[in-house]
């Protein structure tokens, strides 16, 4: 039983019970009430199956995109995370080292870049994730998650999915 079925499966019985309580208020025979409850349960199960299929299709599409990115010949895609880290370091070095040094030794007004809050959130998130993954990897821990974070072993990551 998949996690999706576990999540959705428990709700069917509760919904049928609550609908059954409403049906009991109407003047129907026992057989009609039971037939209604069975039909309602069938409809809910069909709806939950459609939801589960939609989720599975979406997850499969995301997996295919990730596999395509990791198995393509363009090695820049695999180096994109380090590029973001190094570009952020260049911006920080310029703003907080080079500009103040130039301003202190000359009368030339040099303006630093205004680094928005979103830059700091994004850059620290990427650096933090990458650093944790690299630390785990260097300690000898290697699994699919650390390989995906660090980009190492990316060609082996989805061998099961491809072959």
Residues 107-137 pLDDT 10s? 777 777 788 999 899 899 888 887 777 777 6
User: pTM for the whole thing?
Assistant: 0.41
Q: Are residues 117 and 155 in the same domain?
A: yes
Give DSSP secondary structure letters for 72-109: SS-HHHHHHHHHHHHHHHHHHHIIIIIHHHHHHH-S--
Q: Are residues 113 and 158 in the same domain?
A: yes
Q: What is the pLDDT of residue 129?
A: 80
Average pLDDT over residues 23-35: 74
Which of 44, 68, 92 is the last residue in one of the domains?
Answer: 68
For residue 133, what are the CA distances in angstroms to 40, 115, 145, 154?
Answer: 49, 26, 8, 14
Please tell me the least confidently modeled range out of 33-42, 90-99, 137-146. Answer: 137-146
Q: Any idea of the CA torsion for 155, 156, 160, 162, to the nearest 10 degrees?
A: 10
Same domain, 85 and 102: yes
Q: Which residues contact 155 (CB under 8 A, 6 or more apart)?
A: 70, 71
Chain-wide mean pLDDT for the chain? 74
Domain count, the chain: 2
Most confident residue range from 78-82, 93-97, 155-159: 93-97
Same domain, yes or no: 102 and 124: yes
- Percent of the chain at pLDDT > 90 equals 7
**Same domain? 7 vs 42:** yes
Q: What does the pLDDT average to over 13-30?
A: 65
Is residue 38 exposed (0-12), middle (13-18) or buried (19+ Cβ within 10 Å)? exposed
Same structural domain for residues 44 and 78? no
Q: Report the distance separating Cα 130 and Cα 92, nearest Å.
A: 18
Q: Can you give the pLDDT at residue 70? A: 65
Tell me how long the chain is. Answer: 163
90 lies in the same domain as 130: yes
> H or E stretch including 5?
helix 3-24
Q: Are 70 and 161 in contact (CB under 8 A)?
A: no
Highest mean pLDDT among 1-15, 60-74, 114-128, 138-152: 114-128
Q: End of a domain among 37, 68, 99?
A: 68
For residues 108 and 49, membership in a common domain is answered with no
- Give yes or no: residues 124 and 146 share one domain: yes
Q: Looking at residue 162, what is its pLDDT?
A: 46
Domain carrying residue 151: 74-162
Band of residue 149 on the pLDDT scale cut at 50, 70, 90 = low
> Under 8 Å CB-to-CB from 53, ≥6 apart: which residues?
none
Q: What is the pLDDT of residues 86-105, one digit of tens each?
A: 889 999 999 889 888 888 88
Same domain, 39 and 94: no
Residues 158 and 82 occupy one common structural domain:
yes
Per-residue confidence (pLDDT) for residue 34, from 0 to 100: 81
């Amino acid at each position: 039983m998949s996690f999706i079925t576990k999540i959705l499966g428990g709700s069917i019985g509760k919904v049928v019970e609550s609908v059954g309580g409403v049906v009991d208020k109407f003047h129907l025979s026992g057989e009609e009430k039971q037939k209604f409850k069975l039909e309602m349960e069938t409809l809910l199960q069909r709806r939950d199956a459609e939801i589960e299929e939609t989720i599975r299709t979406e997850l499969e599409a995301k997996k295919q995109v990730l596999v395509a990115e990791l198995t393509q010949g363009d090695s820049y895609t695999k180096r994109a995370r380090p590029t973001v880290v190094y570009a952020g370091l260049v911006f920080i070095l310029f703003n907080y080292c080079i500009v103040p040094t130039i301003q202190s030794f000359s009368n030339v007004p040099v303006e630093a870049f205004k680094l928005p809050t979103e830059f700091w959130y994004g850059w620290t998130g990427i650096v933090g994730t990458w650093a944790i993954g690299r630390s785990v990897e260097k300690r000898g821990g290697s699994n699919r998650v650390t390989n995906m974070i660090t980009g190492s072993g990316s060609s082996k990551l989805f061998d099961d999915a491809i072959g």
